[in-house]
Amino acid sequence: MTQIPESHRDLLNANVATLATIGPSGRPQVSELWFLADEGEIRMSLNTTRQKVKNLLRQPACSLLLLDLANPYRYVELRGDAEIEPDDDYAFADRLGAKYGADVRTMDNPGESRVVVTIRPTRIRTWG
């Protein structure tokens, strides 16, 4: 992701990110989740039954925080909008799962589906 300064690009290899969405009441909802820095973008695989997906479908504004766990005063935050695409064949979910050595398919119940969520930053902030 070319907009993230070189000094913070190592955080693209973090294990988890914090996604903040806007809930139906207008209050924030925050979730820890897996992500993949993929072709210059940050993407996530989310189950469509989750509240965070419902929030993003209704209001795509979001914030994603990549925290340096060794130094929690160092982070990169991406504020922007989420773009959501179906992942019916689990092609992206399989790539994401490979990063974590996990089969994402086993995390879903029969009949559930997944989407690829790509963060389209309008602002990137770094600290530390």
Average pLDDT over residues 110-126: 96
Q: Is residue 10 part of a domain?
A: yes
CATH number of the domain enclosing 31: 2.30.110.10
Supply the range of the domain harboring residue 12: 6-127
| In a domain? residue 1 | no
- pLDDT tens by residue, 39-94: 889 999 999 999 999 999 999 999 999 999 999 999 999 999 999 999 999 999 99
25 has pLDDT over 70: yes
Residue 7 φ then ψ, to 5°: -60, -20
Tokens 């689990």 — which residue?
A: 90
Amino acid identity, position 110? P
d(CA 100, CA 97): 5
Rounded Cα–Cα distance for residues 118 and 43 (Å): 4
Total domains in the chain come to 1
Instruction: Give domain status of residue 123, yes or no.
Output: yes
**Residue 40 has which token pair?**
């210059």
The mean pLDDT value for 2-15 works out to 92
In angstroms, the Cα distances linking 12 to 23, 49, 62 are: 26, 27, 18
